[in-house]
Amino acid sequence: MLFCAALCSLSLTSCGLFSSREGLKNGFYLPLTVQLRQAPTVATAQVSYYDACGQAQTISFGKPLAEAITRKSGLVFEKIVTDGAGPAVDGYQDVSFGMATLELAIPRKATRSYPATLAIGLDFAYTAADGKVLLSKKLQAVGRGDVDAIESSCEVKGLNKIVAETISRVTDGMAIELGTSNRILEAAGARKAGAAPATSAAPPSPIVAPVPVVVPTVPTSSATVPMGTKADESATLVFRAIIRDENRNQLLHEGETVSLEIEIKNEGPGTASGVEILVTGTAALVDTIPGVLSVGDLAPGDVKRVTVDGKVGAVTESIQGELVLAVRAKSSAVQFPTVKKFVVAMKPANAPDAGIKPVDVDELPKVSGKLKQPKAVGIAIGIGQFRESGMQRVKYAQQDADVMAKYWNVVGGIPAERIRRLFGSHALKSDLTEVFEEWLPPQVDPTTVVYVFVSGRGLVDPATGAVSVIPFDGTATSGARLYSLRRLQESLTRLPISRAIVMIDLSLEHVQGVDGAAQSAPVWPQEEQGKERIMWMIGNRALQEAHPFDLGQHGLFTYQLLIGFGGAADIDKDGTILAGELCTYTKGQVLKMAREQFINEQEPLCVPGPGQGAMVRLQPVARLK
């Protein structure tokens, strides 16, 4: 198992979501006086739903949301000002309500419980007193639970608890983003070094949380420089870290051996003397690891590695553990790297999955020939790297598409000559246009089922929320060389085909350089548009990086799709896997795995969803017997 500092899914310093059942425990209390400005949309925040009688209802939660924003902001900064009067401020924190969606389906009046999922989004920014924007983020959190209805009433009970949990999650995420922002930390360090902090109010009482969040501090003296400050550094330290576990199942269990590997480098022109790594975190994870790891002196260009073994201590229930690593040195002229924080799933030794190892999905199931689809067509697209060197790679995109194409042939019964593969530099915008709009039409007739798979990176239009695939020659700053999913949908709708199954595994971002306040959430195909002929399996419905699953060597969504194809999605055990079964299985597994192992949510989307009466959900995609 690898827990790498660079992965958003495991590092709170780079992720857009921090999930906590009860909230943050310890504050950051950065030495800044900040004016908190909440937009009118916060006070009027609400979400709509249909009750047990099918009547439209609304829950307003503006007041608790505003209170939580104020309270969590008070954990980040030493003093919060909520109006224009009072002392001079060091900066401004602007917060607005972004969105809220509640997924709740109550088909008829009955006395029973129903699952509900609530998503709340916030837009927030921090602006220094000189007008320079130091942080601008859009963030979404999801809360889940069961609600109760009774046959004699229309009322739905239990929603308030889900609302409160979701508010806590999204405001925790806001506080983490603000408190760990490098640019805000630099401003706080400069404020502390240049002048006495403004008069601060007494910090609010900490909120109890099941997992301690401990940020180590470096003593300030003539021999050390506080992290986040910038003096006249002559040494610049960078480091990465990996946690490996004994079972290689990406979960830590009581009694399991863990190995912590750290590599630290001096990229500056000066020497860093007396370098050490401070280790803190959840007690069960760090009790057998020394709190201070000695690295020694680092001359310019030097790289040193430190490896230490430990053992997971007592774990009585499933929790999210945390490991925090920080660097300090005796030299005064050192630029320190950002504190690294890892969140890992920890479970008792007797947990059912304590010995489970990942399935090798690259080894195809032995069900060849069970399903025959001689008229079907498959188009597999994997774009993991781009012509523009500054574009972030998608780790397993080509592997995802290649193995999916093999499953279509061996498990889905599609002839190999009717499957097109577009990878990397062979997936230009012109290539995508050619395959969907020139190659595909002559291949189909009214009995054809078209399968499409796309793995890579997507761009969201900030005004409309429309999602486009970034081809090999695309960029994140311009829409000129993008291929939109709307265009793909229109191409499929025009074809005289029986059905189409479209699988999308994209990491999503907005067009760069656009003001965050104007950015829309991703908008996906609507159920009423071609619901009888086109099914969409969306691996990542929110604006975030899709999780890579390193042990499986695939994207998380694709990995679970392939497991489902191999037989796990045969929910009713009749030997045939339907499109609806495959998407339902994959969605549930990705939700569970992202929540337990990656801390921030990844929620797939099935369109049309269950209960919509769409025949396309009944399309067989694999046959096991």
Per-residue pLDDT tens digits for 457-477: 999 988 888 999 999 999 887
- Could you tell me which of 575, 543, 364, 377 has the C-alpha nearest to residue 465? 543
Domain 377-623 carries which CATH code?
A: 3.40.50.1460
Q: What is the per-residue pLDDT across 118-153, written as a single tens digit (0 to 9) for each? A: 889 899 999 999 989 998 888 877 788 888 888 888
Could you confirm whether domain 235-347 is CATH 2.60.40.10? yes
Whole-angstrom distance, CA of residue 271 vs CA of residue 84:
47
Residue 604 pLDDT:
94
Q: How far is CA 253 from CA 131, 209, 284, 316, in A?
A: 48, 21, 10, 10
Residue 514 pLDDT:
55
Residue 222 pLDDT:
32
Query: Is the pLDDT reported for residue 338 higher than 50?
Result: yes
DSSP letter string, 436-477: IIIISGGG--TT-EEEEEEEEEEEE-TTT-BEEE--TT--SS
- Could you tell me which of 124, 144, 121, 146 has the C-alpha nearest to residue 133? 124
Query: Is the pLDDT reported for residue 231 higher than 50?
Result: no
Residue 207 pLDDT:
25
- Could you tell me which of 82, 50, 90 has the C-alpha nearest to residue 66? 82
Supply the Cα-derived Rg of the chain in whole angstroms: 26
Q: Would you identify the CATH topology of the domain 12-194?
A: Double Stranded RNA Binding Domain (3.30.160)
- Sign of the dihedral defined by the CA atoms of residues 567, 570, 571, 577, in that order: positive
Q: How far is CA 478 from CA 85, 372, 475, 512, in A?
A: 43, 42, 6, 8
Residue 464 pLDDT:
86
Query: Is the pLDDT reported for residue 389 higher than 80?
Result: no
Q: What is the per-residue pLDDT across 287-325, written as a single tens digit (0 to 9) for each? A: 788 878 899 999 998 999 998 888 888 888 777 677 778
Residue 468's DSSP bridge partners are: 459, 484
Residue 239's DSSP bridge partners are: 264
Query: Is the pLDDT reported for residue 455 higher than 90?
Result: yes
Q: Which residue has the higher pLDDT, 345 or 495?
A: 495
pLDDT band of residue 18 (cuts 50, 70, 90) is very low
**Residues 248 and 551 sit within 8 Å (Cβ to Cβ):** yes
CB atoms closer than 10 angstroms to residue 186: 14
**Residues 239 and 262 sit within 8 Å (Cβ to Cβ):** yes
Lowest mean pLDDT segment, chosen from 89-98, 328-337, 407-416, 538-547: 328-337
Query: Is the pLDDT reported for residue 527 higher than 70?
Result: no
Query: Is the pLDDT reported for residue 590 higher than 70?
Result: yes
**Residues 308 and 276 sit within 8 Å (Cβ to Cβ):** no
CB atoms closer than 10 angstroms to residue 271: 18
Domain ranges of the chain: 12-194, 235-347, 377-623
Whole-angstrom distance, CA of residue 114 vs CA of residue 117:
10
Collect all residues with Cβ–Cβ distance below 8 Å to 389 and sequence separation of at least 6.
Answer: none
Whole-angstrom distance, CA of residue 200 vs CA of residue 403:
58
185-190-196 Cα angle (round to 5) = 115
Q: What is the per-residue pLDDT across 503-518, written as a single tens digit (0 to 9) for each? A: 999 999 887 655 544 5
Residue 59 pLDDT:
92
Q: Which residue has the higher pLDDT, 12 or 172?
A: 172
Residue 526 pLDDT:
66
Tell me if the pTM is above 0.85.
no
Mean pLDDT of 588-610: 84
Six-digit token string for 257: 């051996």
Residue 583 pLDDT:
94
pLDDT band of residue 67 (cuts 50, 70, 90) is very high
pLDDT band of residue 619 (cuts 50, 70, 90) is very high
Lowest mean pLDDT segment, chosen from 155-159, 363-367, 426-430, 546-550: 363-367
Lowest mean pLDDT segment, chosen from 162-166, 210-214, 306-310, 384-388: 210-214
Whether the upstream peptide bond of residue 608 has omega within 30° of 0, thus cis, is yes
Whole-angstrom distance, CA of residue 399 vs CA of residue 420:
15
- Could you tell me which of 122, 113, 222 has the C-alpha nearest to residue 176? 122
Collect all residues with Cβ–Cβ distance below 8 Å to 581 and sequence separation of at least 6.
Answer: 564, 569, 570, 571, 572
Query: Is the pLDDT reported for residue 223 higher than 90?
Result: no
Query: Is the pLDDT reported for residue 84 higher than 80?
Result: no
- Could you tell me which of 108, 1, 110, 118 has the C-alpha nearest to residue 48? 118
Mean pLDDT (the chain) is 81
Collect all residues with Cβ–Cβ distance below 8 Å to 363 and sequence separation of at least 6.
Answer: none
pLDDT band of residue 519 (cuts 50, 70, 90) is low
Whole-angstrom distance, CA of residue 332 vs CA of residue 335:
9
Query: Is the pLDDT reported for residue 538 higher than 70?
Result: yes
Whole-angstrom distance, CA of residue 584 vs CA of residue 591:
11
Whole-angstrom distance, CA of residue 584 vs CA of residue 461:
28
**Residues 370 and 623 sit within 8 Å (Cβ to Cβ):** yes
Query: Is the pLDDT reported for residue 24 higher than 50?
Result: yes
- Could you tell me which of 486, 488, 505, 549 has the C-alpha nearest to residue 404? 505
Residue 369 pLDDT:
67
Lowest mean pLDDT segment, chosen from 6-15, 237-246, 287-296: 6-15
Mean pLDDT of 481-501: 94
**Residues 32 and 187 sit within 8 Å (Cβ to Cβ):** yes
Whole-angstrom distance, CA of residue 525 vs CA of residue 501:
13
Query: Is the pLDDT reported for residue 7 higher than 70?
Result: no
